[in-house]
């Protein structure tokens, strides 16, 4: 029964995600990754046929696109592009790849919960976690764009889940190694999984002192006793490099040079503008350490965080008991404690790594995507414990269901309000988008080419319309080409590079760009053709430059 319910939830998750594809606009990264994915998929097609696909020249030609990032997610984008483009168009077809990764993540959460809480309890915790994840506005957005953040989160969670399973099943250790390799082959933040995993392994194994009833045994002279190393860690160490290099043909030649360039690119990553409490950060010193924690808190719907907090508190006793009894036999309580401890450590470190990295912090929540599924899992566990707190009293159990229902409705409400503008979503702790904007948070990022703006330009734009975007036009030159290619943008509408050539100007109100203030000064007298506001905050304004 619970297996059927699990599959129903996963299919529901997939269906809702697919349905929402047309609602989410192109980001500036989609252009890079979809193009690269198409090139990689074309190479894959040639690789299994006659020809020189395996030659260095051919590999370099295909994989030079976007070689700053590993290829795994891009394979998915490219393959999905070719499989689904006749049905969904070139953009949404590629983005099915991200949806599939997100759906895999939902399945992993359910599996992980059922493995460690039992089928019934696991279905409640995992199922509610999946529903909460599905209705997190920002994660929902990222689940639809052809970027690497949700794919790496998905494989990260898979590797973490298998590593946890490996505490009790040797086969899972090797699967964790492979999954970890695939995660590393997706984005550079995957290797940081090792930190919370090692911490978990130490916490559940380390003995601080020997009790009186334990016999101290010394090794024979001339030998070295090594600590017990988890098999999963060994598997990761062995398999990850093999999978990483094996799936990335770009590294098959000049391996060490190109590996050095890959690491060097990210160590010296150019700064990206980030508005945080009224200050724009784009170079060293970058935003302060608390920025990712604050961004997580103000964007995750409050009910989810409240449930996660309760879940952590409710599990504290069980985790403490588990850590005190490291050598005891396995039991449902140990498995439960392991699950919560794992989820907590990974959620914490997903954000902590970004906070303490010393590198640029930007893009709202995109740099710590693995945080969200683990946080939802803790929230789902909180729902389970709330139900169990109600005991056998029907009224209280009904109330617990009602509370979860209310939490879900509040998230659906936020989702419904922000829709394709989910990167503008903030929760009530900062009074929504209006309060966040007044406090100096970004009202949007990613230079999203909103579909509703495209539709309005099609409808209202005169023939041969020339449009310019400020303050960051060049991203829209790239993304609008995709809309034209997909037939979503009228062929006579062009995004021009020089504002002096434009008929209409689209001012996206983004304070993180230094020129925005001057653009508003210079163009505020122009006639307004259309303005889009959300929560009372202007997000874009179309101005007539001809009059």
Partner 1 sequence: MSFRFWAVAGVVSAAAVADLSIGMRSGPPPVSSAELMDGRRALEARMKRGDIAVHSPLFGVEEARHLDGIRTRPDLPAEAVRRGRRVVLLDRRDAAISGFGEPQDRLIVGPTLFVATFEPTGSAEVTVFDLTVDLGPDTMRVERPRGQTVSTCGEPRRQGGFQCLGQPEWVYAAPRTLRIGGEDRACLWAHPVTGAAVVLSIPALPAPPAGRRMVLELQGGLTDEAVRRTPGGAPVTTVAMQGGRTLGRLVVTNRSDWRRVTRVIEPGSAVELVTTTTHDGRRHYCLSARVVERSVSEGASS
In the list 414, 457, 467, 493, the residue contacting partner 1 (rule: CB under 8 A) is 414
Q: Which two tokens stand for residue 254?
A: 């000049």
Asked if 398 interacts with partner 1 (CB under 8 A), we say no
In the list 317, 406, 455, 460, the residue contacting partner 1 (rule: CB under 8 A) is 406
In the list 471, 479, 482, 506, the residue contacting partner 1 (rule: CB under 8 A) is 471
Question: In this complex, which beta carbon is closest to partner 1, that of residue 209 or of residue 525?
Answer: 525
Q: Which two tokens stand for residue 343?
A: 């989820």
**Of residues 216-255, which lie at the interface with partner 1 (CB under 8 A)?**
none
Of residues 485, 447, 338, 377, the one with CA closest to residue 136: 377
In the list 203, 399, 477, 545, the residue contacting partner 1 (rule: CB under 8 A) is 399
Are the beta carbons of 473 and 78 closer than 8 angstroms? no
Alpha helices (runs of H) in 486-530, residue ranges in sequence order: 516-523
How many C-alpha atoms does 511 have within 13 Å on its Cβ side? 16
Least distance from C-beta 65 to partner 1, angstroms?
25
Least distance from C-beta 472 to partner 1, angstroms?
7
In the list 83, 294, 520, 545, the residue contacting partner 1 (rule: CB under 8 A) is 520
Asked if 400 interacts with partner 1 (CB under 8 A), we say yes
Asked if 285 interacts with partner 1 (CB under 8 A), we say no
Task: Check residue 91 and report its DSSP letter.
Answer: H
Asked if 427 interacts with partner 1 (CB under 8 A), we say yes
Are the beta carbons of 303 and 135 closer than 8 angstroms? no
> What residues contact 309, with CB distance under 8 A and at least 6 apart?
382
Asked if 20 interacts with partner 1 (CB under 8 A), we say no
Asked if 538 interacts with partner 1 (CB under 8 A), we say yes
Rounded to a whole number of angstroms, the CA Rg of the chain reads 25
In the list 413, 464, 485, 544, the residue contacting partner 1 (rule: CB under 8 A) is 413
Asked if 534 interacts with partner 1 (CB under 8 A), we say yes
Asked if 477 interacts with partner 1 (CB under 8 A), we say no
Question: In this complex, which beta carbon is closest to partner 1, that of residue 120 or of residue 517?
Answer: 517
Residue 497's CB: how many other CB atoms inside 10 A? 12
H or E segment to which residue 114 belongs: helix 90-117
Asked if 49 interacts with partner 1 (CB under 8 A), we say no
Asked if 509 interacts with partner 1 (CB under 8 A), we say yes
Question: In this complex, which beta carbon is closest to partner 1, that of residue 302 or of residue 496?
Answer: 302
Asked if 501 interacts with partner 1 (CB under 8 A), we say no
Stretch that binds partner 1, among 5-13, 257-265, 342-350, 392-400 (CB under 8 A): 392-400
Question: In this complex, which beta carbon is closest to partner 1, that of residue 232 or of residue 379?
Answer: 379
How far is it, in rounded angstroms, from Cα 151 to Cα 406? 30
In the list 277, 317, 321, 325, the residue contacting partner 1 (rule: CB under 8 A) is 277
Are the beta carbons of 459 and 178 closer than 8 angstroms? no
Number of residues that bind partner 1 (CB under 8 A): 73
Least distance from C-beta 164 to partner 1, angstroms?
26
How far is it, in rounded angstroms, from Cα 323 to Cα 42? 51
Least distance from C-beta 215 to partner 1, angstroms?
43
In the list 15, 241, 278, 332, the residue contacting partner 1 (rule: CB under 8 A) is 278
Asked if 159 interacts with partner 1 (CB under 8 A), we say no
Question: In this complex, which beta carbon is closest to partner 1, that of residue 16 or of residue 499?
Answer: 499
How far is it, in rounded angstroms, from Cα 421 to Cα 325? 49
* CA dihedral angle for residue 403, residue 407, residue 413, residue 419, rounded to 10 degrees: -160
Are the beta carbons of 252 and 59 closer than 8 angstroms? yes
Are the beta carbons of 335 and 177 closer than 8 angstroms? no
**Of residues 301-330, which lie at the interface with partner 1 (CB under 8 A)?**
301-303, 305-307, 310
Least distance from C-beta 455 to partner 1, angstroms?
21
Helix (H, G, I), strand (E, B) or coil at 288: coil
In the list 20, 390, 477, 496, the residue contacting partner 1 (rule: CB under 8 A) is 390
Of residues 103, 46, 94, the one with CA closest to residue 73: 94
> What residues contact 226, with CB distance under 8 A and at least 6 apart?
none
Are the beta carbons of 363 and 27 closer than 8 angstroms? no
Alpha helices (runs of H) in 358-487, residue ranges in sequence order: 371-389, 394-418, 432-439, 451-460, 473-485
Stretch that binds partner 1, among 13-21, 142-150, 229-237, 469-477 (CB under 8 A): 469-477
Asked if 403 interacts with partner 1 (CB under 8 A), we say yes
Are the beta carbons of 350 and 374 closer than 8 angstroms? yes
Per-residue contact string for residues 435-454; x = within reach of partner 1 by CB under 8 A: x-xxxx--x-----------
In the list 120, 326, 485, 524, the residue contacting partner 1 (rule: CB under 8 A) is 524
Are the beta carbons of 6 and 42 closer than 8 angstroms? no
């Amino acid at each position: 029964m619970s297996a059927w319910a699990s599959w129903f939830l996963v299919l529901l998750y997939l269906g809702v995600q697919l349905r929402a594809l047309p609602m989410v606009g192109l980001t500036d990264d989609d252009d890079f990754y979809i193009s690269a994915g198409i090139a990689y998929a074309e190479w894959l097609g040639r690789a299994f046929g006659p020809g020189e696909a395996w030659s260095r020249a051919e590999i370099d030609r295909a994989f030079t696109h976007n070689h700053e990032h590993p290829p795994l997610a891009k394979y998915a984008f490219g393959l999905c592009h070719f499989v689904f483009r006749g049905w969904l168009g070139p953009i949404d077809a590629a983005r099915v790849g991200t949806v599939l990764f997100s759906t895999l993540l939902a399945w992993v959460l359910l599996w992980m919960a059922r493995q460690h809480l039992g089928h019934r309890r696991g279905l409640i915790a995992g199922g509610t976690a999946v529903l909460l994840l599905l209705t997190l506005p920002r994660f929902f957005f990222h689940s639809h764009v052809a970027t690497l953040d949700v794919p790496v989160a998905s494989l990260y969670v898979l590797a973490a889940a298998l590593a946890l399973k490996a505490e009790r099943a040797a086969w899972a250790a090797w699967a964790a190694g492979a999954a970890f390799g695939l995660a590393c082959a997706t984005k550079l933040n995957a290797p940081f999984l090792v930190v919370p995993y090692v911490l978990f392994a130490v916490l559940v194994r380390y003995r601080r002192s020997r009790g009186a009833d334990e016999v101290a045994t010394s090794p024979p002279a001339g030998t070295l006793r090594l600590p017990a190393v988890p098999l999963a860690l060994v598997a990761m160490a062995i398999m990850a490099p093999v999978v990483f290099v094996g799936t990335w043909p770009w590294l098959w030649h000049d391996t060490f040079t190109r590996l050095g360039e890959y690491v060097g690119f990210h160590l010296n990553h150019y700064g990206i503008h980030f508005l945080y409490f009224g200050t724009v950060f784009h170079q060293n010193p970058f935003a302060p350490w608390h920025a990712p924690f604050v961004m997580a808190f103000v964007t995750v719907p409050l009910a989810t965080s409240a449930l996660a907090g309760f879940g952590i508190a409710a599990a504290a006793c069980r985790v403490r008991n588990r850590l005190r009894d490291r050598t005891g036999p396995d039991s449902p309580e140990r498995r439960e404690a392991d699950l919560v401890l794992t989820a907590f450590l990974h959620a914490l470190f997903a954000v902590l790594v970004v906070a303490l990295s010393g590198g640029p912090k930007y893009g709202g929540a995109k740099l710590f995507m693995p945080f969200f599924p683990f946080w939802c899992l803790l929230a789902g566990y909180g729902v389970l414990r709330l139900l169990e707190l109600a005991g056998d009293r029907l009224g209280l159990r009904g109330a617990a269901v009602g509370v979860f229902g209310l939490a879900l409705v509040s998230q659906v409400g936020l989702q419904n309000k922000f829709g394709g503008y989910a990167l503008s979503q903030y929760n009530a702790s900062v009074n929504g988008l209006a309060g966040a904007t007044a406090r100096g948070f970004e009202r949007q990022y990613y230079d999203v080419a909103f579909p509703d703006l495209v539709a309005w330009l099609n409808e209202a734009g005169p023939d041969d319309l020339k449009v310019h975007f400020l303050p960051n036009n060049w991203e829209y030159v790239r993304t609008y080409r995709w809309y034209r290619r997909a037939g979503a943008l009228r062929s006579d509408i062009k995004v021009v590079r020089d504002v002096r050539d434009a008929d209409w100007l689209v001012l996206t109100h983004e304070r993180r760009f230094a020129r925005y203030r001057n653009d508003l000064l210079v163009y505020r007298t122009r006639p307004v053709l259309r303005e889009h506001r959300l929560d009372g905050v202007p997000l874009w304004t179309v101005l007539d430059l001809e009059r």
